[in-house]
Amino acid sequence: MTSEIVLIGRSNVGKSTLFRQLTRKKVKVGRRPGVTVGPAKVQVGNVVYVDMPGYGYMKGVERNVQEGTKDFIVRRFEEQREDILLVIQVIDAASFIEIADRWDARGEVPLEVEIFEFLTELDLEVIVAANKMDKVEYPDATLDGIAERLGMLPPWRQWKDKIAPISAKAGEIEPLKEIIRSRLQSRV
């Protein structure tokens, strides 16, 4: 039986960079934002890594296309829930709090929080890959703030099996790999 590890994230958070690191293969990086030609898939051992299209605001892409991407993601998760072992939600740790608070101040649920909650409600196991940690000045405070906004009580270190601080660009993704390894080992 193969199961999927699915990567999702707002565009530009470094999802493709991480996908390449995890799969160690050259994956064609689409330079046409918003064009959903189906997710990229790479098999590693008996797991298939799936790279979903980036969601949220994209420069030069119309709002209805952005909404379409979100619908596509939601539908795919609902339909293929049974095949999914883990979801890795990649966020940009350097901008997550500021963006979430901006949405919150407008009285809206931040998109990334909405997606996290949607997946959790589907009973999927979601790992938050807090990427671009190299750009973060105060790592612990930032990770506490991220945890809090996702409904996990700080300190974030209580959630080391849910939150993985990484720098995909530098190849520093060990905390995430550790979570994946332990999840694969405990698979029944």
Where is 172: in which H helix or E strand? none
Report in angstroms how near the CB of residue 58 gets to ligand GDP at its nearest.
9
Mapped onto helix, strand or coil, the DSSP state of residue 155 is: coil
- With CB under 6 A as the contact rule, the residue among 4, 5, 6, 9 that binds ligand GDP is 9
Contact call for residue 13 and ligand GDP (CB under 6 A): yes
Query: By CB under 6 A, which span of 9-17, 116-124, 151-159, 174-182 interacts with ligand GDP?
Result: 9-17
Give the residue with the Cβ less far from ligand GDP, 15 or 76.
15
Rounded Cα distance, 151 and 135, in Å: 24
How far is residue 120 from each of residues 71, 109, 145, measured CA to CA in Å?
17, 15, 19
Site for ligand GDP in 21-80 (CB under 6 A): 54
x/- track of binding to ligand GDP for residues 113-152 (CB under 6 A):
------------------xx-xx-----------------
Report in angstroms how near the CB of residue 131 gets to ligand GDP at its nearest.
5
Q: Which residue is nearest to ligand GDP (CB)?
A: 14
How far is residue 122 from each of residues 10, 133, 137, measured CA to CA in Å?
20, 29, 34
Give me the sheet containing 40-44, strands edge to edge.
40-44, 47-51, 3-9, 84-92, 126-131, 163-165
Report in angstroms how near the CB of residue 94 gets to ligand GDP at its nearest.
7
Q: Which of 99, 106, 107 is nearest to 149 (CA)?
A: 99
Report in angstroms how near the CB of residue 170 gets to ligand GDP at its nearest.
6
**What spatial distance separates the first Cα and last Cα of the chain, rounded to whole Å?**
11
Query: By CB under 6 A, which span of 13-21, 36-44, 95-103, 155-163 interacts with ligand GDP?
Result: 13-21
Site for ligand GDP in 158-177 (CB under 6 A): 167-169
Residue pair 8/73 in contact by the 8 Å Cβ criterion: yes
User: Which residues form the interface with ligand GDP (CB under 6 A)?
Assistant: 9, 11-17, 54, 131-132, 134-135, 167-169
